[in-house]
Amino acid sequence: MTSPWVADGTLIAGGKTLEYACHGPPPADAPTLVLLHEGQGCVALWRDFPKALAAATGLGVFVYSRAGYGRSDVADLPRPLDYMTREATGVLGDVLDAIGFQRGVLVGHSDGATIAAIYAGSVPDYRVRALILMAPHFFTEDMGLAEIARTKVAYETGDLPQRLAKYHVDPANTFRGWNDRWLDPAFRDWNVADVIDHWRIPTLAIQGRDDQFGTLAQIREMETRAYAPVDTLILDDCRHAPFLDQPDAVTDAIKEYCDRLLQIEAAGLIGA
Q: 35-65, pLDDT tens digit by residue?
A: 999 999 999 999 999 999 999 999 999 999 9
- Is residue 271 very low, low, confident or very high in pLDDT (cuts 50, 70, 90)? low
Are 89 and 123 spatial neighbours (Cβ–Cβ below 8 Å)? yes
pTM for the model: 0.96
CATH class of 8-262: alpha beta
Residue 193 CB partners (closer than 8 Å, separation 6+): 138, 139, 221, 225
Kindly state the percentage of the chain with pLDDT values over 70.
96
Is a pLDDT exceeding 50 seen at residue 250? yes
Is a pLDDT exceeding 50 seen at residue 2? no
| pLDDT value of position 22 | 96
| pLDDT value of position 269 | 57
Are 133 and 204 spatial neighbours (Cβ–Cβ below 8 Å)? yes
CA distance 139 to 155: 24
- Is residue 1 very low, low, confident or very high in pLDDT (cuts 50, 70, 90)? very low
- Stretch 202-231: mean pLDDT: 97
Is a pLDDT exceeding 50 seen at residue 272? no
| pLDDT value of position 28 | 94
| pLDDT value of position 189 | 97
Distance of CA 259 to CAs 96, 128, 199, 262, Å? 22, 16, 21, 5
- Stretch 151-168: mean pLDDT: 97
